[in-house]
């Protein structure tokens, strides 16, 4: 019962904030909607016995990633109006029915696949704690993917550095910046 109440509150909050993110006037409001959505998802993760992921969701997603988003939004200027002139009219006309079709298809497949299933529950897997269970899996069965992940992060960091680096100011570049 209490679980159901928490679920429905979190579900309404997450859908509401997602729609707000979609409809919001400017990028800052959209980002705040997304933060709210990430918090609601963290609540749902707790309901699903994924305590470690709920903490990571708040710290990494709502903390680090969204701060990065807001940083870039502020860098690019918040006072600029959203450009609403549509140049690809066909796409926007097609997108609405396609999105509703996506909802219908996923809902039908979910109903077909999982309408009758019940939770097996994680009491056994979480017996010695959720963090310990994930750690055991991560450093035994998933050790190789985990190491590849470190490589991915290094490549991403170096790539961002290369993309973001200003070229040593040649004359043309300096003219560009002055203009």
Partner 1 sequence: MSFFQVQPSHFLGLAAILFATGTAAVLLRKNALRIFMGIELMLNAVNLTLVTFAKIHGGLDGQVLAFFVMVVAAAEVVVGLGIIVAIFRRKGRVPAGATAVDAASVDDVSALKG
| Residues between 71 and 90 with contacts to partner 1, criterion CB under 8 A | 72-73, 75-77, 79-84, 87
Q: Report the residue number, 87 or 168, with the smaller CB distance to partner 1.
A: 87
Joined tokens for residue 94: 């097609």
Name the residue among 57, 19, 59 with its Cα closest to residue 38. Answer: 57
CB of 149 to partner 1, least distance (A): 5
Q: Return d(Cα 72, Cα 95) in angstroms, integer.
A: 27
- Pick from 25, 89, 90, 115 the residue near partner 1 by CB under 8 A: 115
Q: Return d(Cα 38, Cα 34) in angstroms, integer.
A: 6
- Pick from 49, 55, 58, 63 the residue near partner 1 by CB under 8 A: 49
Q: Identify the DSSP state of 57.
A: I
Residue 32 touching partner 1 (CB under 8 A): no
Q: Return d(Cα 73, Cα 55) in angstroms, integer.
A: 25
CB of 114 to partner 1, least distance (A): 5
Q: Report the residue number, 119 or 170, with the smaller CB distance to partner 1.
A: 119
Residue 58 touching partner 1 (CB under 8 A): no
Residue 55 touching partner 1 (CB under 8 A): no
CA separation, residue 69 to residues 34, 57, 61, 112 (Å): 10, 15, 10, 38
Joined tokens for residue 177: 């910046």
CB of 56 to partner 1, least distance (A): 6
Residue 149 touching partner 1 (CB under 8 A): yes
Residue the block writes with tokens 């933060």: 35
Residue 143 touching partner 1 (CB under 8 A): no
């Amino acid at each position: 019962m209490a679980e159901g109440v928490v679920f429905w509150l979190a579900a309404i909050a997450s859908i509401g904030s997602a729609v707000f993110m979609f409809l919001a006037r400017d990028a800052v409001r959209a980002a705040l909607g997304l933060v709210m959505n990430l918090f609601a998802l963290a609540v749902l993760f707790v309901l699903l016995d994924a305590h470690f992921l709920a903490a990571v969701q708040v710290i990494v997603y709502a903390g680090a990633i969204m701060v990065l988003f807001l940083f870039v939004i502020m860098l690019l200027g918040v006072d600029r109006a959203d450009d609403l002139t549509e140049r690809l009219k066909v796409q926007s006309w097609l997108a609405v029915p396609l999105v509703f079709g996506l909802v219908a298809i996923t809902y039908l497949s979910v109903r077909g696949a999982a309408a009758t299933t019940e939770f097996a529950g994680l009491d056994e897997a979480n017996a010695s704690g959720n963090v310990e269970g994930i750690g055991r899996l991560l450093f035994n069965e998933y050790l190789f993917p985990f190491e590849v992940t470190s490589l991915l992060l290094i490549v991403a960091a170096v790539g961002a550095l290369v993309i973001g680096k200003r070229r040593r100011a040649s004359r043309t570049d300096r003219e560009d910046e002055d203009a």
